[in-house]
Structure formats: C-alpha cells, structure tokens
Structure 1
Amino acid sequence: MKKDKMKIVSTRCIAKDTIEMVLENQFISGIAVPGQFLHIQVGKHILRRPISIADCNKELNQITILFKINGVGTDELANYQQGEYLDVLGPLGNGFTTDGESKSTVLLIGGGIGVPPLYYLGKTLKENGINIVTILGFQQKDNVFYEQQFQELGETFIVTDNGSYGHKGFVTDVIDQVGRFDCYYSCGPIPMLKALTAKLKGKKGFISLEERMGCGIGACFACVLPTKDGTSYKKICKDGPVFQAEEVTL
C-alpha cells in the first residue's frame, strides 16, 4: 500500500450515473490484484472514497475504476478531467483467491456497482484457463454496463429488477439455469449477498463487501462484521473486502 498521485488518463459515462475512469500509476498498477480497492481523496472532503479496482493493465501502468454517482463526493469525483491527478491510497484490502484448476468452471455474480471488481477477477481467471459464467444484476436497462466485456469472458446472463432488459427478477432467480460450477465469487449489496449465500449454502464461494469506510487501513474500526462462530470481528477494509462465503455474518 502506498499514498501516491494517479493521473487521470480518461473518464466517461458508461451507464446512468455510472462513470468509468482510467488512472495511471506504475507502482499501484504493478501490484494490484483482483478484489482490492483504492481510497481516493476527493476535494476537501474529510473521508476518502473507497472505489473497487475494475481492471488493471500492468503494461500501460493503468488502473480502471467504475463508480456510481450517489452523493456529493462521487459527484465531485465525476467532474475531474483528463490530465488531472488524484490523491490515492492503494491498493488496499485482501483480494480474491484466484487459485484454481484449469478447465474448472466458476460463477461470477455481481449486483449494481458490485459488478466492477468481478471484471478484473474474471479476466485473471480466464487467463489461467478457467471457464467463466457470469450473472449481472441491475435495477433497469439504463443501469447496465460492461455486458460486452463480460460476454468476451464467457456466457453472461443479465438480470434487471423490472425486466426492462434481460431476465426479470434477481440474480438468485437465474442460478438454476447456469448448470454445474465449481466455485462462485460475488460482490453486491448486502441483501443480495444474504440471499445468494443462503441459496448456495455449502458451496465453495467468496464474497466481496461494499461498505462505507473511515481510514481504509483497519485503524478506526468503522467497518467491522462478526464472524460466523461469534468469537471475533473482521475489518472489511483490512481483513476483506473479500471473505469466504461462510466466514462472516451479514
């Protein structure tokens, strides 16, 4: 982890209130792994904004982040322009475990702004010879993003709450159509993760949690969850954001 400046290479709107921003920094891009995040200083706001790493190009020293405009901080971040610099701590957190046998099949399940970290994960797994199937859930058609990018990794199902695009319903409604898979990885809202882990109880899986954070390095105890056995707590920013599906109580 390092505090550093990241140059904005490009920024664009890719769906309703959803921004894709490509950042450049040799050190951060060189060590980032799927599932980690950046803690970004925005203007004069006291708290940094945690943003998941959506992609990493080590040859170009670039990190891609995707975020949704849902408050004053992210609205201000969306107005930064190409050529400007961001004050960043990163990469932070423990990422996804990407070990696996080639020719095995994994299921990626993302909801809303929980979709981005799964893309870098999916690319890494595919490079390791693992078959990828993806289910992506969004509120409605205008919110859908990165469909083509995930289709390039493998079979992809799109689900919208109102049925305006793809399947109507929730991501859990589509799992039965997937067939056999050896492991699952998921990121999204807590209600989605609760329903998902309940449906897939006993199946090997990993979940990544979205959470507001204070320090981002495990010092302030603002983002803790109890473990399943009730004996301790886990810090989402430092012990996570990725956990084994049966490790913490949601």
Structure 2
Amino acid sequence: MEVVGQKLIADRVFELVLQGDIVTEMHPGQFMQLKPRRSDLLLRRPISICGIDKAQNQCTLLYRVDGDGTADFAELGAGDTIDVIAPLGNGFAPQETKPGEHALLIGGGIGVPPLYQLGKDLVAQGSTVTFVLGFSSAKDVFYEKEMGKLGDCFVATVDGTQGVQGFVTTITDALDFLPDTVYSCGPTAMLRVVAERFANQRTFLSLEERMACGVGACYACIYQRTDDPTKSFKACDEGPVFRAGEVVI
C-alpha cells in the first residue's frame, strides 16, 4: 500500500493513512499485518484498523511506538510504500445493534482506534453511540474530538490530567443509561471487568494479543474456550472479536 500521510497525534502515537484497493474489503475491528522495512526485523506487526474510506480506497491506522518495528513505521512518509497483509480477523458486528438502539463503546489506550470506524458504522445505520475512553495521562489522549462528533465521548485518565480521574469503569459505573450493546477493546484486565459489568448485555470484546503470523498458522495467540477447556480459539483468524463469555480472559 502507498502512504498518503503520517503525523504524531499523542505521546508516541502516530496516525498513518494508507491507500490501496484492498480497503474495499475492510470492516471495523479487523487488523493488518505490516512488514517493517528493516531486513533484521523478520516478523510483521499487527495494527488495528481505525478508519475506512472505501470511496477514496484509504484506511487510517493509529499505533504507538513501543519497539523497533513500530519505530520503523514512524519513519514512513507520503509516497512511501509498505508491504501489508490485510484485512485480517473477524471484526465487530454493527448489525448486532439495531437502528434506534444505544451502543456503548469502551476503549483503553491503544485499544481505542478500532472503535472509531465501528462508531461511524453504527451512527450510519441509525444507532446511538456513547464512547468511554481510558488513558494514562492527558499526553496519551487521542481521537476524543473525532469520536465526540459521533456521540457523547467521556475520557478517564489515571492521573486525572484530563477528564475524570480513574479508569473507564469510573465512568461506566456512573452512566445514567443501560446500553443495548457493548463493544470494547483494550487491556485484558479492562476487558475482564467490562465482561463482568455488562454480563447481561450483548457484549463483544476485541482481544489484544501478540501475534506472529496473523493468519492462524502459528498458534501463538490462542485463548481457552469456556465451553470446552481442552479447546481454544485463535485470536488472529477466529477473533480478535469474541462475544463475552466465549473465551477465558
């Protein structure tokens, strides 16, 4: 794919826009495997898809620089090309929320990006959305304005430098409505709490996991099934989105 542009939007968080025909096949909650240009970095890096513009054949990725691979991506500029495998995984299902129903979208840290396109699709079909986003500090916050254009958007930071001090649960426990559907992506500890808090709603969790191949061949990203402890699901091709209660988290 060709790089349309890239910019820094938060502390070590970059917004990367790519263009290519494969965008027409993308859905919210799916991810891409990007190949670093450095020859000594053998494994691709999984990056979730944040925004999808099928009219322009463009997609937007948000990622945080945490190692050599993502540091390599940060050097990309307009006109560069990058080798990708995409789209991968089973994403969110907006149709699980009916027109007129209210969906709650909960994101933590770098788990926030895939909720953006989901929110756009939900609004487009006539559903109402509320976002609850959790970050460590104000310097880490991103896309709260973009998501705020789609519906109510609440932010929690651990140190209280922006929004409510605390975690996403600090906000969700104080909400004055009960959502029809819950979609969430973020750290495992957060997802576990979300699954318990909204056990009686239609709740879908996108699991963050380190991956090697991204296509189900290496079995590096497995989760134990709740219906049969001797079997497992692969987060890359059978996920990353699962209905709450399907896997042990």
TM-score scaled by structure 2? 0.96
Residue in 2 that maps onto 1:84: 80
2:101 aligns with one of 86, 104, 107: 104
Letter in 1 for 2:244: A
Residue in 1 that maps onto 2:245: 246
Q: Are positions 1:133 and 2:130 aligned together?
A: yes
SS of residue in 2 equivalent to 1:85 = coil
Which deviations, in whole Å up to 9, do the C-alpha atoms of 1:164-207 show, x marking residues without a partner?
Answer: 10001110111133212101000001111112212222321000
Partner Cα distance (1:55, 1:10) in 2:
14
Q: Are positions 1:219 and 2:217 aligned together?
A: yes
Partner Cα distance (1:233, 1:135) in 2:
30
Partner Cα distance (2:200, 2:248) in 1:
15
Q: Are positions 1:170 and 2:167 aligned together?
A: yes
1:194 aligns with one of 189, 192, 195: 192
SS of residue in 2 equivalent to 1:137 = strand
Unaligned runs of 5+ in 1: 1-5
2:204 aligns with one of 190, 203, 206: 206
Partner Cα distance (1:202, 1:56) in 2:
31
Q: What number of residue pairs does the alignment pair up? A: 244
TM-score scaled by structure 1? 0.96
Residue in 1 that maps onto 2:234: 235
Q: Are positions 1:30 and 2:53 aligned together?
A: no
Partner Cα distance (2:25, 2:71) in 1:
28
Q: Are positions 1:8 and 2:3 aligned together?
A: yes
TM-fit CA distance, 1:211: 1.1
Residue in 2 that maps onto 1:3: none
For the structure 1 residues 197 and 176, does the alpha-carbon distance in structure 2 shift closer, same or farther, using more than 3 Å as the test? same
2:145 aligns with one of 148, 152, 176: 148
Decide whether the 8 Å contact of 2:36 with 2:72 is kept in 1: yes
CA RMSD of aligned residues (A): 0.8
Residue in 2 that maps onto 1:21: 16
TM-fit CA distance, 1:231: 4.2
Letter in 2 for 1:50: P
Which deviations, in whole Å up to 9, do the C-alpha atoms of 1:209-240 show, x marking residues without a partner?
Answer: 11111110000100000011224100000000
Letter in 2 for 1:14: I
SS of residue in 1 equivalent to 2:185 = strand
Q: Are positions 1:57 and 2:56 aligned together?
A: no
Which deviations, in whole Å up to 9, do the C-alpha atoms of 1:86-132 show, x marking residues without a partner?
Answer: 00000000011111311100000000000000001000111000000
Which deviations, in whole Å up to 9, do the C-alpha atoms of 1:132-171 show, x marking residues without a partner?
Answer: 0010000000000001111011011000011110001110
